[in-house]
Structure 1
Amino acid sequence: MPDLDPDLFGPDQPCFGCSPHHPIGFHLRFAREGDEVVTRFVPGEQYQGPPGIMHGGLVATLADEIAAWAVIGLLDRFGFTASMQLKLRRPVRVGVEVEGRGRIVHDTPRTAQVGVRLLQGGAETLIGELTFAILNRAGAERLLGGPLPEAWRRFARE
């Protein structure tokens, strides 16, 4: 199972979800398994909302990061989150490994719809579908308010 490299976006990339150097981030690593991108993550106590349960907003952040890496790892593109439809089926417990899976449901040159599932102890805790806008370099630079970093340029739509 080959890992997808979070340093694709440069060693100083600031992402909360996947930067290996973010001081409070998730530090996620991803791999391709067939037509899915997969990660495993053990949420620590610092990610709690209610005692023993991962904060719902951070669960959504986890789902968003999995979907983003599905676009990167399966389409060789980078997208910006445009919409999320998530259903929390069970609480995500801290201290227990979460398996996250993302797959492309539908894509066009300008958008990608990604299905995401989170499982803990074999039970589904979240299902969702996220839509990403796949921008060209000029569009990404407008959104970012400045130049697209060199390491990111190869992922922009032509």
Structure 2
Amino acid sequence: MKRITNPWRGMEGYHCYGCDPNSPQGLRMEFYEDGDEIVSLWRPRPEYQGWVNTLHGGIQATLADEISSWVIFRKFQTSGVTSKMEVRYHRPIHTTDDHIVLRAAVLRQRRNIVDIGVRIYDLNGELCTEAVCVYFMFPQEKAHSDFHFCECGVEAEEANPFGK
């Protein structure tokens, strides 16, 4: 598994709620490429609860949306926008867990429309949430000129976000 480099890190005006590593109130997600999948190990915090010690469903949807965008960035080297999202909650995720794991991959592509499947697992590896995000991809020229997209690469060294 290789860590995906964040091409916007340090860019003036970059304050993404999902992936800005310096956002005090944001999710500060990091991403890894594992074959066809994009993976994120994310640490829940108490301020993201909906009910006592339970991760808010809207935060789960945001996590799914964000990792889906990184599938587009990395696998297609462009950007886009979410046009539709369906989320299915199977079991609660606890904000007291040390971490959760998100996995996302392309399910289907129809020209510039991409369906991305997302699975969110709790600390014990139990499937808690599934989502399908439908993305409209921009042509690479538009992504570069209008949305400051630049290459989304990976670090040379293998990474192990799980610390095992």
Which deviates more from structure 2 when the two are superposed, residues 129-138 or residues 116-125? 129-138
1:48 positional shift: 0.7
Q: Deviations over 1:69-122 (max 9, x none)?
A: 111122222121110011000111102111000000112341111000000111
Give structure 1 stretches of 5+ with no counterpart: 142-146
The structure with higher relative contact order (CA 8 Å, sep 6+) is 2
Aligned to 2:36: 35
Q: What one-letter code is carried by the residue in structure 1 that aligns with 2:4? A: L
**1:2 matches 2:2:** yes
Query: Contact (CA 8 Å) 1:137, 1:153: kept in 2 or not?
Result: no
Quote the Cα distance in structure 1 between the aligned partners of 2:74 and 2:134. Answer: 16
Higher strand share: 2
1:28 positional shift: 0.8
1:126 pairs with 119, 129, 133, which one?
Answer: 129
Which deviates more from structure 2 when the two are superposed, residues 101-110 or residues 44-53? 101-110
Quote the Cα distance in structure 2 between the aligned partners of 1:115 and 1:122. Answer: 17
Higher helix share: 1
Query: Contact (CA 8 Å) 2:104, 2:116: kept in 1 or not?
Result: yes
Identity of aligned residues (%): 26
Query: Contact (CA 8 Å) 2:3, 2:32: kept in 1 or not?
Result: yes
**TM (normalized to structure 1)?**
0.85
- Map of 1:64-83 to 2, 5 A cutoff? 64-83=65-84
Query: Contact (CA 8 Å) 1:48, 1:54: kept in 2 or not?
Result: yes
Quote the Cα distance in structure 2 between the aligned partners of 1:10 and 1:119. Answer: 27
Query: Contact (CA 8 Å) 2:78, 2:139: kept in 1 or not?
Result: no
1:140 positional shift: 6.5
1:111 pairs with 110, 113, 116, which one?
Answer: 113
Give structure 2 stretches of 5+ with no counterpart: 153-164
Q: What one-letter code is carried by the residue in structure 2 that aligns with 1:2? A: K
- Map of 1:46-57 to 2, 5 A cutoff? 46-57=47-58
SS at match of 1:129: strand
Aligned to 1:11: 10
Quote the Cα distance in structure 2 between the aligned partners of 1:138 and 1:71. Answer: 15
SS at match of 2:66: helix
Task: Check 1:114–1:91 CA distance in 2 against 1; reply closer, same or farther (3 A cut).
Answer: same
1:65 positional shift: 0.7
